A and B are shown apart, each in its own frame.
Chain A
Amino acid sequence: MKRLLVRLLREKPLGAAGAVICLVFLFCGIFADFLAPYGYNQISLLNRVKPPSGQFFFGTDNLGRDVFSRCLYGAQLSVIIGFSGAALATAISAVIGIVSGYLGGKTDLVTQRFVDAWMSFPELIILIVVVSVLGPGMGQIIVVLGLLLGIGGSRIIRGTVVSVRENMYVHAAQSMGAGTLRILWRHVLPNVMPPLIVLFTNRVGAVILAESGLSFLGFGVPPPAPTWGGMLSGSGRAYMYQGPWLALAPGLCLTFVVYAIAMLGDALRDLLDPRMRGSR
């Protein structure tokens, strides 16, 4: 672990920068309650649409709420939704992809046609339908996004598994009498880790973006919860000309975090591959 960190710094400066931003993001999310100078819904009508200053780092919105505090609480929501959604999505992708790819034959055929059918639905429409039926809420969003991205992503894992399965070391394990579970766990899973890690990091970004998109459309976590997407669509869009910081602050948070996660994911994929050890 320590060696991995050293190598991250030395070989992947961009990934290290991504890691730092991710850590800051995680830290802000987890300790938002302590870091935020004001409550996320603390209204001060005397300080409406104030530009950034020493008192309000990112300014205030149309209700006089501190945008900096709201961004911190937004990070908290994004951490929770992003990581649980991506974890669920990756787990679903891994299970479907590995089982379908390794077993092959009829199982593969049936599973993949189901995945095809699922992928042909437009994601946003499913999300909006589910949210309108179940009502808006964080739990619904996590489960629906996890399922949506997970089933689609299983295609990537399946492709990798199909090629891993043909390796001689899998044949060797079969011929020495190793059981299917053992082969999947010891031989297939470690060799699909690189795409899984990239998939996970990619999904964290995608889930955060999708949640923001939903909140922007008004189907996300309901206000006054301070999601970045909600802030963009609410005060950010309505008061863009009076206070550009209202849109800029959550927008930049979103951009930085999603970009940093992607960079970290790429760097990790390279570092975790023993064949890439020592190379740049």
Chain B
Amino acid sequence: MTPEPVPLLRVENLQVHFPVYSGVIAQKEVGRVRAVDGVSFSVMPGETLGLVGESGCGKSTTGLALLRMLEPTGGQIVFEGTDITRFDRKQMLPIRRRMQMVYQDPFGSLNPRMTVADIVGEPLDVHRIGDSGARRAKVLDLLSTVGLTKEMAGRYPHEFSGGQRQRIAIARALAVEPALLICDEPVSALDVSIQAQVVNLLQDLQARMGIGTIFIAHDLAVVRHISDRIAVMYLGQIVEIAKRETLYARPLHPYTQALLSAIPIPSPAIEAARPRQIVTGEVPSALNPPSGCRFHTRCPVAMARCKTEIPALTALGDGQAVSCHLHPG
């Protein structure tokens, strides 16, 4: 019997709440925005987990909490076998070397006053890896890895296009050879023609270096292309998680079904003929989420029980898990 493989990252019941205060002098907490409310998943070494959901569902917040850029309100983050949920700044330093982030906006995530070489070399500098000669060599190496030339090392970010900037950001993230890469919508700010290049680059690098990746996105076509497994989030919770093939072939949660039916197909005939599951209304406020199943206010197949009873995320075999009363396991 082979031993159970150890996940690179395990997240248990993660919660990130933002308290809302009222009053000027004697501040009183009047409510909480439950941006992330009980999220659990794991990432294996070298695996890509896609995290999808519409704006405001908490996917970016989850990413920031994993990096401890936001304080988790509750739950557990276990990275490489170590519980880092309550690590302080100093304890986090060696961990930060192992997990890196690529941000959404390549125009904002690069310091306009640093050269490309300084930007890419900064993580090496921060973690004091190698001497200046070795760092320089590593930086040039990284630039060629992401498809940029050595001559570009001395230039400033504003001299590059969006796609090139995102390559610089990727080179920076890879500089310390992390085990986990968190990509927060890395291509949604790019032109469609450039998106494919950057996604392919990420996929290629990841396969070559064996980096576990959390790919946060709202574009289901991109996620499908790059992910091994996909978790669908709605209002701060994971409603369904499954292997890529399973999720796209047999989505079980009504929200996942609605999301998938919203992907445009580049053929008017098929587009017109296929059934659409349309979800009406707005996403409820995370300040005051609906009782029971959070999706029941918009769910086309909601039952009486959905209003009162919270469905648990139930494993259905083959790595698929759904939180819906229609699929009690």
Interface residues of A (CB under 8 A from B): 167-169, 171-179, 182, 186-187, 190-191, 193, 274-275
Docked-complex contact A274 and B103, CB < 8 angstroms: no
Nearest A residue (CB) for B63: A175
How many B residues have CB within 8 A of the partner chain? 26
**Residue ranges of B at the interface with A (Cβ–Cβ < 8 Å):** 67, 69, 92-93, 96-97, 100-101, 103, 105, 108-114, 122-123, 126-127, 156, 158, 169, 172, 176
Q: Which residue of chain B is the closest to A189 with respect to CB atoms?
A: B113
Residue numbers in B under 8 Å from A190 (CB-CB): 111, 113-114
Known pairs A169-B110, A169-B111, A171-B69; A176 contacts B158 (CB<8 A): no
A170 — nearest CB in chain B belongs to which residue? Answer: B111
Q: Can you list the 8 inter-chain pairs with the closest CB atoms, starting with the nearest? A: A177-B96, A168-B108, A168-B109, A190-B113, A169-B111, A274-B156, A176-B123, A178-B126
B114 proximity list for chain A (CB < 8 A): 186, 190
Contacts beyond the supplied A178-B126, A187-B111, A190-B113: 17 A-B pairs with Cβ under 8 Å: A168-B103, A168-B105, A169-B108, A169-B111, A171-B69, A171-B103, A171-B109, A172-B169, A175-B69, A175-B100, A177-B97, A177-B123, A177-B127, A186-B122, A191-B112, A274-B113, A274-B158
Chain B residue nearest in CB terms to A176: B123
Residues of B within 8 A of A171 (CB): 69, 103, 109
Q: What's the dominant secondary structure at chain A's contact region? A: helix
Tell me which residues across on chain A come within 8 A of B93, comparing CB atoms: 177
List of B residues within 8 angstroms of A191 by Cβ: 111-113
Are the C-beta atoms of B67 and A274 separated by less than 8 Å?
A: no
B111 nearest CB neighbor, chain A only: A169
Instruction: Point out the residues of chain B lying under 8 angstroms from A186, CB to CB.
Output: 111, 114, 122
Q: Which residue of chain A has the shortest Cβ distance to B93 in the bound complex?
A: A177
**A176:B100 contact, CB within 8 angstroms:** yes
Closest to A166 in B: B108
Q: How far is the CB of B18 from the nearest CB of chain A, in Å?
A: 15
A173 touching B122 in the complex, CB below 8 Å, given contacts A167-B108, A186-B114: yes
Q: Are A177 and B113 in contact (CB under 8 A)?
A: no
Contacts of A176 in B (CB 8 A): 96, 100, 122-123, 126, 172, 176
